[in-house]
């Protein structure tokens, strides 16, 4: 008989991340996770408290994997690298931004907060005050999470089944260019959505605005 390796928290989180990637947040349950691992559901509680603890653990793991920017680089580059690496880490595991956006996960370990601390430090260095830092973080987070969530709906959805494509085609056939000339013109571009290049373009535009705002902020030269 093959001896089963002992279960631990990391193995539980590995299996949970794979299960959530396959079945989504709603498909992740203690019962299904236990079945995937070949154990009774009660055995999981030796390593995780509940589903919330699992989602927190998954999110913290993703945030720990974010590559940090060179602290010696100029502040705009640090903002760009930190935000782009955050986007890429979350895009690799779409279930995580969904859990964060729906408040089902809240990674709050010190290590998970390091990228955020780097970002705040860069903004303070730029000359933004407390209110400016808060507002700028809101804009950057909106860009990251808005871009990620948009890849799950509408024309920009990353992966579609046959039924969804047919639904889109039926919708598009009802569009009258005489009534919606601008939307009709933009449809090909909307369908040609390329998530990461589009995100990078939007991020660069936002950072350009931050550089201009920082130059005129009180206390800057």
Mean pLDDT of 165-191: 84
- Cβ atoms within 10 Å of 169's Cβ, excluding its own: 9
Q: Is the pLDDT assigned to residue 1 strictly greater than 50?
A: no
- Other Cβ atoms closer than 10 A to 18: 12
Token pair 């509940």 in the structure block, residue: 50
Q: Which of the residue ranges 41-55, 68-82, 88-102, 170-184 has the most confident prediction, judged by mean pLDDT?
A: 68-82
CB of 155 closer than 8 Å to CB of 190: yes
Helix orientation angle between 75-92 and 195-215, rounded to the nearest 10 degrees:
150
- What mean pLDDT do residues 166-182 have? 84
Please report the pLDDT score of residue 155 as a whole number.
43
* pLDDT the model gives residue 219: 53
The whole-number pLDDT of residue 149 equals: 87
pLDDT single digits (tens) 123-159: 999 999 999 999 999 999 999 999 998 876 544 455 5
pLDDT at 154: 46
pLDDT at 218 over 70: no
> Averaged over 186-210, what is the pLDDT?
90
- DSSP single-letter state for residue 132: H
Q: Token pair for residue 197?
A: 């290049």
Handedness of CA 31, 109, 62, 159 (dihedral sign): positive
pLDDT, tens only, 10-50? 999 999 999 988 888 888 889 999 999 989 989 899 899 99
Share the mean pLDDT of the chain: 87
pLDDT tops 50 at residue 53: yes
- Look at residue 102 in the predicted model and tell me its pLDDT: 86
């Amino acid at each position: 008989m093959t001896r089963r390796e002992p279960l631990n928290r990391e193995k539980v989180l590995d299996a949970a991340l794979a299960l959530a990637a396959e079945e989504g947040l709603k498909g992740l349950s203690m019962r299904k996770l236990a079945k995937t691992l070949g154990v009774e559901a009660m055995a999981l509680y030796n390593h995780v408290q509940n589903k919330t603890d699992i989602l927190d653990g998954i999110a913290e793991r993703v945030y720990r994997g974010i590559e940090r920017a060179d602290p010696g680089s100029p502040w705009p580059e640090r903002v760009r690298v930190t935000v782009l690496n955050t986007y890429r880490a979350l895009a690799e595991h779409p279930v995580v931004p969904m859990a964060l956006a729906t408040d089902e996960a809240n990674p709050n370990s010190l290590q998970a907060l390091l990228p955020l601390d780097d970002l705040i430090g860069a903004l303070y260095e730029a000359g933004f005050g407390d209110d400016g830092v808060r507002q700028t973080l809101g804009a950057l987070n909106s860009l990251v999470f808005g871009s990620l969530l948009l890849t799950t709906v509408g024309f920009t959805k990353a992966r579609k089944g046959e039924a969804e494509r047919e639904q889109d085609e039926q919708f598009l056939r009802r569009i009258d260019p005489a009534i919606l000339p601008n939307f009709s013109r933009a449809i090909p571009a909307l369908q040609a959505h390329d998530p990461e290049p589009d995100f990078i373009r939007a991020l660069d535009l936002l950072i350009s605005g931050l550089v201009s705002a920082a130059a005129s902020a009180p206390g800057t030269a």
